[in-house]
Amino acid sequence: MSTKISNENEESLSIPIFSTATFGQGCFWCTEAIFQRLEGVKAVQSGYSGGVIKNPSYREICNGNTGHAEVVQITYDPSVITYSDLLEVMWKTHDPTTLNRQGADVGTQYRSVIFYHDDEQKKLAEEFKEKLNGSGAFNKPIVTEISPLKEFYKAEDYHQQYFNLHGDAPYCQFVIVPKLNKFKEVFRERVKK
Contact 97, 131 (CB under 8 A): no
Catalytic site residue from 27, 30, 62, 172: 27
- CATH tag, 17-156+169-183: 3.30.1060.10
Please state, as a whole number, how many other Cβ atoms lie within 10 Å of the Cβ of residue 145: 15
Annotated catalytic residue 27: yes
Q: Across the chain, which distance is largest between two alpha carbons, in Å? A: 61
Q: How does pLDDT run along the chain (193 residues), one tens digit per residue?
A: 444 444 454 555 667 799 999 999 999 999 999 999 999 999 999 999 999 999 999 999 998 889 999 999 999 999 999 999 999 999 999 999 999 999 888 999 999 999 999 999 999 999 999 999 999 899 999 999 999 999 999 999 999 999 999 999 999 999 999 999 999 999 999 999 8
Domain residue spans of the chain:
17-156+169-183
Q: CA-to-CA distance for 115 and 179, rounded, in angstroms?
A: 22
Q: What is the pLDDT at residue 4?
A: 42
- What pLDDT score does 32 carry? 98
Rounded Cα distance, 50 and 17, in Å = 26
Position 77 scores a pLDDT of 97
pTM: 0.90
